[in-house]
Amino acid sequence: MMKTRTLGKSGLEVSALGLGCMGLSYGYGPAADRSDAIKLIRAAFERGVTFFDTAEAYAQGANEALLGEALEPFRDQVVIATKFGFQDGDAGKGQDSRPERIREVADAALKRLRTDRIDLFYQHRVDASVPMDDVAGTVKDLIQQGKVKHFGLSEAGAQSIRRAHAVQPVAALQSEYSLWWREPEKEILPLLEELGIGFVPFSPLGKGFLTGAISESTSFDKSDFRNIVPRFSEENRKANQALVDVLKQIGASLDATPAQVALAWLLAQKPWITPIPGTTKLHRLEENVGAAGIELTPGNLNTIETAFAKITVQGDRYPAHLQERVGK
């Protein structure tokens, strides 16, 4: 059975690995077939995953509705996280975290998720036009009403995290973190440790790159978000291949895949980190779940650190217009 972890001081207990559900509906090419997607979500639960991540902005509620149907039979045995914060639930538009909008999103999400409470409600991106005190205060009210259990932030900067936490304790921060995006180590991880906030890394496999399944010759579907990511340009994919080679070498000695080593590395960083790899494929789900049972030795971790210190990852993780939305 998969081990569990507690997100910071919140008391929110989740499986060591969660399932990021965005890609089932949005972001990485065409949406998965609905019945296949439901099967995948239920297969994750059968394999010990109890933490499922969605958002209003993933296909404007369609992903939440999918999750609501898939998880309904065992709703009380799982933790569901969703998010508010984009105009009309459309990530292509700007932020909208006005209190009345947060309340609207909560009510709509409860219906789509077929539930009476949201276990973890994140602000998807910090909204510069709404004071963080108002955002945190609104979620605090929703918690008092029983509609929400815990408050989270996504891609927020240190100042916003402190301000939010002072109004309503933040259970978790969800931001990108992996062996090829280590920015949170500078300022964010020490802050979360200090405040007792859990960390939920998204894209823990570098948007698929650390699996080893993507090379310089890979072509993505025209609707795939990675087409506009500088780090995924052909020359940068070629340059970054060295990272995967290191993971393959370490994996070979542990009878593990590069993806499993990358996930095990994240789990080894802090006991309050729960990555949420996403996939549409059952064999990848099984591979990811297998990472929770891999214990990297201090020697393994040292080998990874030494090798990665010599490699400079090429290319930004976001195009400039998306980079502006993070770390506020």
Nearest CA to 112 out of 146, 149, 80, 66 is that of: 66
- Angle, CA of 234, 235 and 238, to the nearest 5°: 90
Q: Does residue 28 have an active-site annotation?
A: no
C-alpha 151/C-alpha 21 separation (Å) is 19
* Contact status, residue 6 vs residue 172, Cβ threshold 8 Å: no
What's the chain's length in residues? 328
CATH domain 4-323 topology: TIM Barrel (3.20.20)
User: pLDDT tens, 214-256?
Assistant: 989 999 999 999 999 999 999 999 989 988 999 999 999 999 9
Show me where the domains of the chain are located. 4-323
Find all residues with CB under 8 Å of 76, minimum gap 6, and list them.
Answer: none
**Coil, strand or helix: which one is 198?**
strand
Of the residues 58, 122, 177, 318, only one is catalytic, namely 58
* Contact status, residue 50 vs residue 4, Cβ threshold 8 Å: yes
- Angle, CA of 73, 76 and 77, to the nearest 5°: 90
Strand 12-15 and strand 4-7: the pairing is antiparallel
* Contact status, residue 240 vs residue 231, Cβ threshold 8 Å: yes
| Predicted structure pTM score | 0.97
User: pLDDT tens, 4-46?
Assistant: 999 999 999 999 999 999 999 999 988 999 999 999 999 999 9
